[in-house]
Structure 1
Amino acid sequence: MSVRAIVPLLLASLMLGCGSNSRPIPPVAEVDVPRFMGDWYVIAHIPSRPEREAFDAVESYALRPDGRIQTTFRYRKGSFEAPVKTMHPVGTVKSGTNGAEWGMQFIWPIKAEYVIVYLDADYQQTIVGRSKRDYVWLMSRTPKMSDADYNKATARIAALGYDLSKLRRVPQSGGVKQP
């Protein structure tokens, strides 16, 4: 076999090997997407690289006229006194998922998996995860969560197959104001 024939096969096998071997993470049965919109304070997370030192992290969602979800993630890096940083990914609800699974696009054309795996009946607390179990976000409509609710949420996160030793509680001072 020639080198030209081997290289594409090698690249294809490497790409397949990089895929997730984990089982799909179970979404909630249904999300009323318009009701889900608004501010969510990040209470705890297994953070992505930009979030590792986040303080006052708030994820805000707004429906766009085209049906996609404009997201604004606001946080301070390293302290409550640090300037507010923002990221603006765009979410797309996957069809056939009853609003529970989104593709979150930070950089075109890549859409990251974003699965709502827990949502209380009052839309006051949620957990968002990924099948790879690499990132998770515990969020609330308020910047504080009772210890009882936090413990229930972390038990849910553990039951989903996450390593709780990687979970970071996000310091919250009462919220980041819109810059």
Structure 2
Amino acid sequence: MSKSIACLAALLVCLTGCAHDPTAAPQEQARRPACVAGPPIDLQRYMGRWFVIAETPYLGERDYVGSYDEWTLRADGKIEDRYLGRRHGFDQPVTGSHFVAKVVSGTGNTTWRVGLIWPFEVVVVTAYVDPGYRYTIRCMADGNMVWLLARAPTMDEATYSDMLARLAAMGYAPELLHRVAQDAGQIGRPGFQ
């Protein structure tokens, strides 16, 4: 049953993930650029848990709080890609999706093909990682979706503002991002989904 739900969720991600945010004005949607990869990354160092601080909301992740990505490098070079969180509240069990990603050769480990459900794949690009591997910006190759991730579940306002400025410099409209509650006190606060 859980495999069926995971497959259905993956299909839903595929079908809705590339769709434009219906709340965004058409001119805002039109100015979303393609995502450009940053400098090469150390894949071993990049693995592990990354908390979702902010994202372009879409149906598959919209109701989650406390969400995070967990990446594990496999012996065959592929990456176990798990998206986990609590749907509808912190009192709910941890659930999520499991995908397998492949690094695209020649991209300095910045570009991954993520298999949702055969034969559907999406291309996810790492646009920025800070030198300490504490913060990262990832986006779909077509620029429709963006994730701001951190190693810790909290991010100070100065760092968050810096990350938004980086997104703006890349051509994204930072106001399209919504923060993800990582503790119960953040639910319902302005800017949080």
Out of 82, 85, 88, the position equivalent to 2:92 is 82
Q: Supply the distance in 2 between the matched residues of 1:145 and 1:173 (Cα, whole angstroms).
A: 12
Alpha-carbon shift at residue 95 of structure 1 (Å): 0.2
Counterpart residue number, 1:44 = 54
Counterpart residue number, 1:119 = 129
Q: Give deviations 1:59-79, integer Å, cap 9, x for gaps.
A: 000011110000111111121
User: Are 2:82 and 2:97, in contact at CA under 8 Å, matched by a contact in 1?
Assistant: yes
Extract unaligned runs of 5+ from structure 1.
Answer: 1-20, 175-179
Q: Quick check: 1:27 aligned with 2:37?
A: yes
Q: Give deviations 1:29-67, integer Å, cap 9, x for gaps.
A: 101111100000000000332111210011000011110
Alpha-carbon shift at residue 117 of structure 1 (Å): 0.2
Q: Tell me, what secondary structure is at the counterpart of 2:41?
A: coil
* TM-score calculated relative to the size of structure 1: 0.80
Q: Supply the distance in 2 between the matched residues of 1:89 and 1:162 (Cα, whole angstroms).
A: 26
Counterpart residue number, 2:4 = none
Counterpart residue number, 1:130 = 140
Alpha-carbon shift at residue 23 of structure 1 (Å): 5.4
User: Are 2:53 and 2:153, in contact at CA under 8 Å, matched by a contact in 1?
Assistant: yes
Q: Tell me, what secondary structure is at the counterpart of 2:60?
A: helix
User: Are 1:23 and 1:131, in contact at CA under 8 Å, matched by a contact in 2?
Assistant: no
Extract unaligned runs of 5+ from structure 2.
Answer: 1-29, 185-193
Alpha-carbon shift at residue 82 of structure 1 (Å): 2.0
Q: Tell me, what secondary structure is at the counterpart of 2:90?
A: coil
Q: Supply the distance in 2 between the matched residues of 1:162 and 1:108 (Cα, whole angstroms).
A: 30
Alpha-carbon shift at residue 158 of structure 1 (Å): 2.2
* TM-score calculated relative to the size of structure 2: 0.75
Matched pairs, number:
155
Larger CA Rg, structure 1 vs 2: 1
Q: Supply the distance in 2 between the matched residues of 1:141 and 1:96 (Cα, whole angstroms).
A: 26
Counterpart residue number, 1:56 = 66
Q: Quick check: 1:140 aligned with 2:150?
A: yes
Runs of 4+ in 1 over 4 A off after TM superposition: none
Counterpart residue number, 1:65 = 75
Counterpart residue number, 2:116 = 106
Aligned sequence identity (%)? 35
